[in-house]
């Protein structure tokens, strides 16, 4: 099973959207590093996962469960997006995500996402973590695009924010 880069996108200037297109493999790993243009504790950015250009204003075909820092699971159904990082975390200006996606045309699409949030600067502040397990109800085609939208929008993603997708059949 040889893995190859399917897509990569690095923002050259600030913005609220980050997309990876051209997904055509059954098994995908995606790496996302979001950086905020500001560094406050006011919930500046909240990256959320969408597929195939769906917007946070449309669609209800994602079901998922997530937890933060090993806490209790929260299940959500008929959603428009899945979490890259729990929205109750402060200091969300440096977030790294590793996700896995199964993308078979005739099956629901399953994903697993692990996230780490840098938290406040310095070694005295431990990072925060979250997990998200979900599915997109799409059985008549493939996911061809991963979208990382900024749900809060109190700040923008900074230049250098990146998504890279690796895929294999």
Structure tokens at 62: 């994602």
Two tokens, residue 59: 């669609």
**Domain architecture of the chain: domains with CATH:** 4-168 (2.60.120)
| pLDDT, position 58 | 59
> What integer pLDDT is reported at residue 92 of this predicted model?
66
Beta-strand pair 62-68/74-79: antiparallel
| pLDDT in the model for residue 42 | 59
DSSP-derived 3-state class of residue 7: strand
The predicted-structure confidence for 80-107, as pLDDT tens digits, reads as follows 778 777 555 556 678 899 999 999 999 9
pTM score, two decimals? 0.88
Distance from CA of residue 21 to its chain's centroid? 14
The backbone region for 75, taken as left when phi is positive above 0, alpha when psi lies in -120 to 50, beta otherwise, is: beta
The pLDDT tens digits of the residues spanning 34-70 come to 888 877 655 667 788 888 877 655 567 889 998 988 8
């Amino acid at each position: 099973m040889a893995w190859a880069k399917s897509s990569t996108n690095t923002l050259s200037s600030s913005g609220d959207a980050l997309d990876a297109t051209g997904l055509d493999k059954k098994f995908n790993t995606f790496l996302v590093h979001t950086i905020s243009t500001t560094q406050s504790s006011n919930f500046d950015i909240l990256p959320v996962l969408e597929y195939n250009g769906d917007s946070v204003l449309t669609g209800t075909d994602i079901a998922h469960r997530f937890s933060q820092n090993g806490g209790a699971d929260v299940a959500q159904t008929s959603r428009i997006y899945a979490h890259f990082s729990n929205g109750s975390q402060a200091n969300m200006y440096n977030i790294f995500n590793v996700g896995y996606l199964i993308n078979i045309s005739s099956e629901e699409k399953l994903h697993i996402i692990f996230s780490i949030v840098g938290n406040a600067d310095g070694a005295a502040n431990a990072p925060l973590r979250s997990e998200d397990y979900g599915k997109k109800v799409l059985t008549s085609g493939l996911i061809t695009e991963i979208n990382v939208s900024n749900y809060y929008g109190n700040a923008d993603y900074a230049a250098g924010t990146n998504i890279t997708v690796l895929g294999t059949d």
